A = this chain, B = another copy of it.
Amino acid sequence: MGDTVRFTLSERDIPTHWVNLMADLPPGGPPPLHPGTLQPAGPDDLAAIFPMALIEQEVSTEPLIEIPEPVRDAYRLWRPTPLHRARRLEQALDTPAHIYYKYEGTSPAGSHKPNTAVPQAYENAVAGVRRLTTETGAGQWGSSLAFACMLFGLECEVWMVGSSYDQKPYRRSMIQTWGATVHRSPSDRTAAGRAQAHHTTGSLGIAISEAVEVAAQSPDTNYALGSVLNHVLLHQTVIGQEALAQMEMAGEYPDTVIACVGGGSNFGGLTFPFLRRNIRDGATTRFIAAEPAACPTLTRGVYAYDFGDTAGLTPLMPMYTLGHDFVPPPVHAGGLRYHGDSPLVCALVKQGLVEARAYRQNETFDAAIRFARSEGVIPAPEPAHAIRAVIQEAEAAREAGEERVILFGLCGHGHFDLSAYDAYLAGSLEDPEFSEADRDAALAGLPKAPALT
């Protein structure tokens, strides 16, 4: 047998702490603002829809936050996840680079999303909350929250974007299999939904408004968000914490860490424990955030205060944004179709600690198929963006003749996305371009707020 290619931790090795990069971010990011007063939004502004334990995590400056025992106990249902060395991909690329990937597709939901759904459900259950609401597009987040609520005995109601509800019934069925309720959005259950009843296909913005409205109006009901916020990224650092230990088993340390970015939770989850080593210990790892060229928030957006949602209900967040009215073209990487990004990830890009790159849909599917034909796993369209960047870096290592160590996040399998593969292989997959005019129109609608430098 050749060198080790699969680095396996036992359940005893599930990390005891999440990494809170807020503690290390120089000089500390700008605060979110209340949309009415433009004053920094405080814990009280969030208390109507989040439990205090999560709000404390959201604003904490402790560098490490202990993972509650019941959360670790639930993680044991699928964690630790494997870390692989992609030897067959290295050979196919004829590169001296050593390529590693952390694979999150073995979770019950098939992606990394349960890593935060579980602690969110747990903290709400501890706080005596009876029910959680959320929105979902294609259903990755909604199904993961349904799974987590099932574990802690919470009811779960999911508003699913109408067009996905009609066209992508599979993750809707997952949500129901785990005992949660799914509403087609816009629904007649909320004022926000009734006001948009004419909007037949729905949108993520409308679905968010419906879920938040129900949570804000019901004392026993809270809301849960699947990305963007600090506490969500915090929970996902269980990925990078495990990867640190597994790279140590491999006897290597990454020169480059790569992950795709939509709202930022997958990217932050893998990279923050390594970024912390750069900031604290003088490590010199490079970090690459891969995003879709059709929704190039980090590479073609502006750094400004903007709403997190389309409807303009959330606090104003300091981030790269294409404008909250920007409607990305319908690329298959639904998890990356977001006008903004996690403020934490945006601050890292702004400060030059993270490099962002954008890739076209067709080149990411080409990369995904090269990966599937060497390593076996068929990737979801989102991590296909990371793989595109990995191939670029591996080719650069070959040209430089350098044995660079590359680690990337394979955040989910593509078993729900095979129709997109079908279209790509048939040559009929669209390759939408970014519209600067659409961005400029959306940026004209930015809320009035202090400028960011």
Contact = CB atoms under 8 A, between A and B. Distances in A.
B176 A425 contact: yes
Q: Which of A1, A150, A173 has the most CB of B within 10 A?
A: A173
A298 interface: no
A182 B168 CA distance: 25
Interface residues on A, range: 35 or more
A3 to B, nearest CB: 10
A89 B277 CA distance: 41
A253 interface: no
Nearest to A376: B108
A6 B14 CA distance: 11
Interface string A172-194: 11101111000000000000000
A114 to B, nearest CB: 8
A286 interface: no
A93 to B, nearest CB: 16
A147 B376 contact: yes
A4 interface: yes
B415 A169 contact: no
Instruction: Determine how many copies of this chain the complex contains.
Output: 2
A172 to B, nearest CB: 8
Contact of A418 (B5, B151, B170, B375): B170
Contact of A106 (B4, B106, B418): B106
A415 B418 contact: no
A422 interface: yes
Contact of A372 (B5, B177, B415): B177
18 contacts: A1-B11, A1-B72, A2-B73, A5-B77, A108-B376, A108-B378, A147-B376, A150-B376, A170-B415, A170-B418, A173-B418, A173-B425, A174-B415, A174-B421, A176-B422, A177-B372, A177-B418, A415-B416
Interface of A: 1-2, 4-6, 8-12, 69, 72-73, 76-78, 80, 84, 88, 106, 108, 110, 147, 150-151, 169-174, 176-179, 369, 372-373, 375-378, 413, 415-416, 418-419, 421-422, 425
Given A77-B88, A173-B418, A173-B419, 15 more contacts: A1-B11, A1-B69, A1-B76, A4-B12, A8-B9, A77-B84, A77-B375, A147-B376, A150-B376, A169-B418, A171-B418, A172-B422, A173-B421, A173-B425, A177-B372
